[in-house]
Amino acid sequence: MKRILTLATIVWLEMVRRKELYVLLILLAALLAGLLSVDVFGLSGITGYAKDVGLLGVWLLSWILAVNISVRQLPQEAQRGTLFSLLAMPVSRLTLILGKWLGAWSGVGFALICFYLTLLAGVWLKGGGFDANTLVQAILLHGGALAVVCALGIALSTRLNRDAALVTAYLTTGSAFLLMPRIPAMLAGTRGLESISLFGAYYLLPHFELFDLRRRLIHDWGRVGWFLIGEILLYAFLMTVVFLTLAWLGYRKRRFSRGDVL
Amino acid sequence: MNPAIDIQGVSVSFPSRQGTVHALQDLSLTVEPGIVYGFLGPNGAGKTTTIHILLGFQESIRGSARLFGVPVTESIARDRIGYLSENPEAYDFLTGREWLTMAGRLFDLTSGEVKSRIETVLSETGMLAAADRRIASYSRGMRQRICLAQALINDPDLLILDEPTGGLDPIGRRDIRRLIANRKKAGKTVFFSSHELSEVELVCDRIAILAKGHLLAEGVIADLVPRGESLERYFINTVAP
Spell out which residues of chain B touch residue A6, defining contact as CB-CB under 8 Å.
Answer: 102, 105-106
Percent of chain B with pLDDT over 70: 98
> pLDDT tens across A127-139, in order?
778 888 889 999 9
Quick check: B89 and A82 CB within 8 A?
yes
- Rounded to a whole number of angstroms, the distance from the CA of A101 to the nearest CA of chain B is 17
pLDDT at A261: 43
Lowest mean pLDDT among B12-21, B69-78, B152-161: B12-21
- Rounded to a whole number of angstroms, the distance from the CA of A63 to the nearest CA of chain B is 24
> A 87-106 residues with CB below 8 A of B?
87-92, 95
Q: Is the pTM of this model over 0.80?
A: yes
Tell me the three state secondary structure of residue B138.
Answer: coil
- Rounded to a whole number of angstroms, the distance from the CA of A252 to the nearest CA of chain B is 9
What average pLDDT does range A11-17 have in this prediction?
Answer: 87
| Residue A39 banded pLDDT, cuts 50, 70, 90 | low
Report the C-alpha gap between B192 and B180 in whole angstroms. Answer: 9
Highest mean pLDDT among A25-34, A74-83, A191-200, B109-118: B109-118
> pLDDT tens across B137-190, in order?
988 888 888 998 999 998 898 999 888 877 677 887 888 888 888 888 888 899
Instruction: Say yes or no: A1 contacts chain B, CB-CB below 8 A.
Output: no
Mean pLDDT of the residues in chain A: 84
Report the C-alpha gap between B116 and B139 in whole angstroms. Answer: 25
Q: DSSP for B73-84, please give it.
A: TSGGGGGGEEEE
Asked whether residue A194 carries a pLDDT value surpassing 50, the answer given is yes
Residue type (1 letter), A218: I
| Residue A262 banded pLDDT, cuts 50, 70, 90 | very low
Tell me the three state secondary structure of residue A257.
Answer: coil
Q: Taking a C-beta distance cutoff of 8 angstroms, is the pair A255, A249 a contact?
A: no
Closest-CA residue of chain B to A88:
B55
Residue type (1 letter), B100: L
List A16's β-bridge partners, or say none. none
Q: Of A173, A236, A167, which is closest to residue A201 (Cα–Cα)?
A: A173
What average pLDDT does range B79-90 have in this prediction?
Answer: 84
Give the mutation candidate from A6, A85, A93 for the B interface (greatest B CB count, under 10 A). Answer: A85
- Per the model's pLDDT, the better-predicted residue between A2 and A238 turns out to be A238
> pLDDT tens across A65-100, in order?
899 999 998 888 888 888 888 888 888 889 999 999
Mode of pairing for the β-strands spanning B5-16 and B19-31: antiparallel
Quick check: B108 and A253 CB within 8 A?
no
Closest-CA residue of chain A to B76:
A90
- Rounded to a whole number of angstroms, the distance from the CA of B72 to the nearest CA of chain A is 10
Asked whether residue A26 carries a pLDDT value surpassing 50, the answer given is yes
pLDDT at A198: 80
Tell me the three state secondary structure of residue A130.
Answer: coil
Instruction: Report the residue from A85, A91, A258 with minimal CB separation from B147.
Output: A85
> pLDDT tens across A117-161, in order?
888 887 787 777 888 888 999 999 999 999 999 999 999 988 888
* Interface predicted TM-score of the whole assembly (ipTM), two decimals: 0.81
Instruction: Report the residue from B75, B103, B160 with minimal CB separation from A92.
Output: B75
Spell out which residues of chain A touch residue B75, defining contact as CB-CB under 8 Å.
Answer: 90-92, 95
Quick check: B89 and A6 CB within 8 A?
no
